[in-house]
Amino acid sequence: MIKPFGSDTLNTLYVDNNAKREALLKDAAVRPSIVLSSAAAGNAVMLACGYFNPLTGYMNIADAKSVAEKMQTTSGLFWPTPVVNMIKDASAIKGAKRIALKDPNVDGNPVIAIQDVEAIEEMSADDLKLITEKVYGTTDMEHPGVAAFNSAGNIVVSGPIQVLSYSYFKEDFPGTFRTAQEIRDMIAKNGWNEVAAFQTRNPMHRAHEALVKMAMKEFNADGAVIHMLLGKLKPGDIPADVRDSCIRKMVELYFEPNTAEVTGYGFDMLYAGPREAVLHALFRQNMGATILIVGRDHAGVGDYYGGFDAQKIFDDVPAGAMEIKIFKGDHTVWCNKCNNIVMMRDCPHGKDDYVMLSGTKVRAKLAAGEDLPKEFARPEVAKILMDYYKNEAAKG
């Protein structure tokens, strides 16, 4: 099986020994504490699961800047996006060497992790702007990732963590949420060697289905892991439970048995386009995938990135930095003349022959109670989406 990124074995930061975890929870109860931002809580979950191997905690300002500018830490580790714990007020933890980190996404803000504090630093406005520009390619506060990053605070608390909870993900998505190690175990159990990973924050339509199958065919893959984001999205995106139902129905009906697994991970979407695509590749290697499918506008939002910027950035990744391979997909559509889903670059026909719907048009059709074209969506998937939109409309 493919090695984890940056180490020979996977480093998961969740404390799975019950006695040790209970002791740490008792210790946390008497420690100074802060409530994390949702982004920092997501970082803790990803560290707990081994997706962010080989990191051991939150970066300091020097590492965050180095990652933003050079895609590597100050020690030379290749890494595409800062993994930070940023807060607005550090008065409650001033002088503390160990602190409790509380979960902002669970009622009552229970402790999610305990952190050994290496530094508490104030990030300057110039540094915040630099990191934002380098990672997101814009400082526009209309960009949801930029807004989230810049609203978390300018005080950076760095140091290693021990994670005591998977937040709400294990309880809310028991059949879908999986750690990197659990996915590695699943791949081994299935006997898969070549494994394609498909990232999604949306329900899968026929173009997505075809893209997965094309990648599997090109690399002669044994299986595919459809890996959905379960954390926070921007307003208007489809909720995780609805996406989960859609994807499971598609896999059940339209993939060969034992060739696809539906899983998910606990992280808030960054919408960082190219940089987030590299992060996706890195943590998919950690979970045992050998191929990442990168389609058009991967991890993008609005018009902030070019359609294929998330593919081009891999040309700048240093040779040998990652072992995972990249399948670069073109815009995938239904062609009436081919009578099939095609990638535009491989099709001799033109736009007049294609069935093309933007996400905005799809949502408008669903909101109006209109059927989606069979060329665009599998009918069983479309029904789940239509039922969701009808229920939302009924709520007023």
Q: 379-394 and 240-254 are packed helices; what angle lies between their axes, rounded to 10 degrees? A: 160
CATH 3.40.50.620 maps onto the chain at: 175-394
Write down the H helix ranges in the chain.
18-29, 38-49, 61-70, 125-136, 144-151, 169-172, 180-190, 206-219, 240-254, 274-286, 309-312, 359-367, 379-394
Reduce the DSSP state of residue 47 to 3 states and report it: helix
Q: What is the pLDDT of residues 148-181, one digit of tens each?
A: 999 999 999 999 999 999 999 999 999 999 999 9
What pLDDT, on the 0 to 100 scale, is given for residue 203? 87
CATH 3.10.400.10 maps onto the chain at: 18-170
The CATH number assigned to the domain with range 18-170 reads 3.10.400.10
**Mean pLDDT estimate for the chain:** 95
Candidate from 116-125, 126-135, 342-351 with smallest mean pLDDT: 342-351
User: Per-residue pLDDT averaged across 24-46, rounded?
Assistant: 97
Residues assigned a catalytic role: 201-202
Q: What is the pLDDT of residues 276-297, one digit of tens each?
A: 999 999 999 999 999 999 998 9
User: Per-residue pLDDT averaged across 245-271, rounded?
Assistant: 96
Pick the CATH number of 175-394 from 2.30.300.10, 1.10.10.10, 3.40.920.10, 3.40.50.620: 3.40.50.620
User: pLDDT-based confidence at 199, cuts 50/70/90?
Assistant: very high
User: pLDDT-based confidence at 366, cuts 50/70/90?
Assistant: confident
What pLDDT, on the 0 to 100 scale, is given for residue 58? 98
User: pLDDT-based confidence at 396, cuts 50/70/90?
Assistant: low
User: pLDDT-based confidence at 362, cuts 50/70/90?
Assistant: confident
Candidate from 23-27, 84-88, 277-281, 346-350 with smallest mean pLDDT: 346-350
